[in-house]
């Protein structure tokens, strides 16, 4: 896709691969490429699930601080929205997404991991939001997605202190969903999303929209949103196939339509 972000597709799974050595710092160029690849995986029907991956050594150690240090308020007022939008586009990919975390996922790297539906971490991984040590706060979802994921008290602990957490603590507080040996992270991530490759793509899309959208609504509005998405699925081929297969007591053959 670009100089620093590649899209590799195999067997229905798209791997978004960061490749900006040594630490995959999320500079302006990387942010733009992430937004482009988010659009690519969203609209490519051959891609049924997605893995976010930084390679064997590091996921992403944060923003490019040297680049940011030269910016004043006026510059960052314009750039902050672009960064937020880039990661938000990834969060809105209407397909199952898992982040495969090796090494460090700090600052913007942790915020990138938070855009995924699940996170698989190496047993020696470190995660955190250390922006407070630079005199700023997380600016690409770290105060919002993190609080929704682990709760406000734990999010405040991580954001106020800027401390790093190891994989086991991240698992205990719900920041990651699985911890595996470092050499097995990518394969574990693939295994997590592989079952969805031949699943009912429109129903999976609706489920993600219902859950993520409903979190922003009160209960009554969320229930209405869910009902609309539920009813819309009765116009899909996979709904017909799924129910016919159930009645016939056979395995459904979903096409994603």
Active-site residues: which are they? 63, 108, 111, 131
CB-based contacts of 129-132 (< 8 A; 24+ apart in sequence): 129/158, 129/159, 129/162, 130/62, 130/106, 130/162, 130/163, 130/164, 131/107, 131/159, 131/162, 132/159, 132/160, 132/161, 132/162
Peptide bond into 9 cis (omega under 30): no
Write the DSSP symbol of residue 135.
T
Whole-number Cα distances in Å, 100 to 54, 71, 107, 182 = 8, 31, 16, 10
Tell me the DSSP string of 26-71. Answer: B-HHHHHHHHHHHHHHHH-TT--EEEEE--SS-SB--B-HHHHHT-
Give the whole-angstrom CA distance, residue 2 versus residue 228: 38
Taking the CB of residue 198, how many other CB atoms lie within 10 A of it? 14
Whole-number Cα distances in Å, 155 to 83, 84, 199 = 21, 18, 34
- Expressed in angstroms, the distance from the first to the final Cα of the chain is 27
């Amino acid at each position: 896709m670009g100089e620093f972000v590649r899209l590799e597709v195999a067997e229905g799974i798209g791997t978004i691969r960061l490749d900006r050595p040594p630490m995959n710092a999320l500079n302006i160029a990387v942010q733009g490429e992430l937004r482009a690849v988010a659009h690519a995986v969203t609209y490519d029907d051959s891609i049924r699930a997605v893995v976010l991956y930084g390679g064997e050594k590091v996921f992403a150690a944060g923003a490019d601080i040297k680049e940011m240090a030269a910016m004043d308020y006026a510059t960052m007022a314009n750039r902050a929205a672009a960064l937020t939008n880039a990661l938000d586009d990834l969060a809105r990919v209407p397909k199952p997404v898992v982040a495969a975390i090796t090494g460090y996922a700090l600052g913007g790297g942790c915020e990138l991991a938070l855009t995924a539906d699940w996170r698989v971490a190496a047993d020696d991984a470190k995660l955190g939001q250390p922006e407070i040590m630079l005199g700023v706060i997380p600016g690409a979802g770290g105060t919002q997605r993190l609080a929704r994921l682990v709760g406000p008290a734990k999010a405040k602990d991580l954001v106020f202190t800027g401390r790093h957490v190891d994989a086991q603590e991240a698992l205990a507080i719900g920041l990651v969903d699985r911890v595996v040996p470092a050499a097995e992270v990518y394969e574990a991530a693939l295994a997590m999303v592989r079952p969805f490759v031949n699943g009912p793509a429109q129903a999976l899309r609706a489920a993600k929209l219902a859950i993520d959208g409903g979190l922003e609504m009160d209960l009554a509005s969320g229930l209405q949103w869910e009902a609309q998405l539920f009813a819309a699925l009765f116009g899909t081929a996979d709904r017909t196939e799924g129910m016919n297969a159930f009645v016939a007591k056979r395995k459904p053959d979903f096409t994603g339509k």
